[in-house]
Amino acid sequence: MGTSEQINAYNRIQPFVEIMDCTLRDGEQTSGVSFLPHEKLMIARMLLKDINVDRIEVASAKVSDGDKDAVKMICRYARQIGKQDAVEVLGFVDGGDSVEWIADTGCKVINLLAKGSEKHCSGQLEKTVEEHVADIKYCIGLAEKYGMSVNLYLEDWSNGMKESPEHVYAMLDALTHTSIKRFMLPDTLGVLNPLQVIEYMRKMQKRYPNTHFDFHAHNDYDLAVSNSLAAVLSGCKGLHVTVNGLGERCGNAPLSSVQVILKDQFHAKTNIHEDRLNDISRLVEGYSGIAIAPNQPVIGENVFTQVAGVHADGDHKAGLYCNLLKPERFGRKREYALGKNSGRANIAKNLEELGLELTPEQTKKVTQRITELGDKKELVTQDDLPYIVSDVLKHDAPEDKVKLVSYVVSTAYGLKPGANVKVEINGKQYEASATGDGQYDAFVKSLRYIYKKYLDRTFPILANYAVTIPPGGRTDALVQTVITWNNNGKMIRTRGLDADQTEAAIKATFKMLNIFELEQNNND
């Protein structure tokens, strides 16, 4: 059967695909990434409850006491929500040490790491396949005594199928009749292409038709998603993914990309809640410190932003530039960029969202001004539009309702940074002090104290904070700080420009506060 016939047959069947997320184990092998125990718990909670993945692999056995604490907390939570069997830990064929370590955490599933290629078995373990199988069976027996179920990784399976398929078959022949629940087939070094995945997976399915196979992709050739889909197309029942594609070297298959291709291109069924994919991506981005590329499909900041004016015009008239990947599906919304390529259609869309009505001639003038700013590489956001409109049309700029009167921020060795802030809100002055994890954190905490104590209100939560310096900039170059705020689900993005990073952040903060105050006054 050719590939096109396979796809057509697959689309008619609409099978269920099991998704295992490996962010907390394989994803933590990303260079520079190390999650604290409570961070692991927060990620696990969201994956199990909000994203609704089928399984999560949360750690490797014997790595650290911190990992052990994290696994205990995650297992305790999973028991509370009836998903204890969805938590898995990687263990090694080490005479039972891993089994005992995992059993002590309360985890009920061990993913044994065995050798899926003759090269790894003889070169690393210096054992025959028979000796290796005997060691595996001993660990399986011990796991069963502890009431644990067992899945088996065939490490380097991809090279095993390429160079020593007889080793792979010998392993499966000896182990398919044991209590192993799943055989997990990793492309450990990311060397396969989709045609090879189809060939090898079909051989596995034909030889072992009643066996559950998972596929675990790595992205060294940028083929992790394609290979994952090829595996499912060939009968694989489960896929391994990570949030944001985290993982060693070039990473693993991203959860969000795998999900949308499974659903849209192959009409497969999963348990994933797509409307929370953006939320889990931002949570992991914050904890990992690894920024999501703006053009990363589904979750990137720019993927639902139309830049060309002709696209905005087409969307306005007949949705001509939309596909199945609608932003609302993922809890997001389509945006229309403001810059030199925007055109009047983009700007009209933004003005419409703000409730600003301009004549065609006025819109033309605003468009010209935004184009000029774009030529200078100025970043223009929707929040800048009212000021640009006022400037172009020679009206008075909107009066700031929230003004910074004065502030002092300080830091000293051995002490937490502090801030003393005086502000004017709707004509009245307020003052407060606070300490924080940094100067800006202390500044914002002072503001929140003022809003809570004197106004009995809170303002939006900081969702993202990005600092950029122009290429080739010197130490005295201007710093641009772009801050994204979450106001009950509505995102507000403001920016500040200054030679000092803290000052730039403060400017961005007061832009947000004035937008927030204007909305509050309009609602009252």
The CA distance from 34 to 27, in Å, is 9
What single-letter amino acid sits at 437? Answer: D
φ/ψ region of 463 (left if φ > 0, alpha if ψ in -120 to 50, else beta) reads alpha
The amino acid sitting at 155 is E
- Residue 88 makes CB contacts below 8 A (sequence gap 6+) with 20, 55, 56, 57, 58, 107, 109, 110, 111, 151
Which tokens in the block code for residue 109?
């599933």
Among the listed residues 415, 357, 423, 411, the one whose alpha carbon sits nearest the alpha carbon of residue 389: 357
Q: State how far the alpha carbon of 95 is from the alpha carbons of 91, 104, 124, 143, 172, in Å.
A: 11, 16, 16, 11, 20
Helix axes 65-80, 37-45, angle to 10 degrees: 30
Q: Could you say which of 28, 118, 155, 335 is catalytic?
A: 155
Question: Do residues 390 and 398 touch, judged by C-beta distance below 8 A?
Answer: yes
- Angle (deg, nearest 10), helices 129-145 and 165-175: 30
What is Dmax (Cα atoms) for the chain? 85
By the 8 A CB rule, do 167 and 174 touch? no
Asked about 166 being catalytic, the answer comes back as no
Query: Which residue from 80, 90, 85, 78 is spatially nearest to 41, judged by alpha carbons?
Result: 78
How many Å apart are CA 187 and CA 215, to the nearest integer?
A: 8
What are the CA-CA distances from residue 239 to residues 54, 92, 322 (Å)?
10, 21, 28
Q: How far apart are the first and last CA of the chain?
A: 66
Partner residues linked to 403 by β-bridges: 424
SS3 at position 21: strand
Amino acid residing at 361: E
Token representation of residue 410: 């300080």
Nearest to 107 by CA among 143, 63, 75, 136: 75
Residues 6+ away with beta carbon under 8 Å from 213: 182, 183, 184, 185, 201, 204, 205, 231, 235, 236, 237, 238
Amino acid found at 354: L
Give yes or no: 25 in active site.
Answer: yes
Could you give the 3-state DSSP secondary structure of residue 152?
strand
Place of tokens 């005992």: 100
Question: Which distant-in-sequence residues (6+ apart) come within 8 Å of 197 by Cβ?
Answer: 187, 215, 227, 230, 231, 234
Q: Hey, which residues does 491 pair with through a beta bridge?
A: 486
Task: Starting at the earlier edge strand, list the strands of the sheet with 402-412.
Answer: 402-412, 415-425, 428-435
Q: Provide the annotated active-site residues.
A: 25, 155
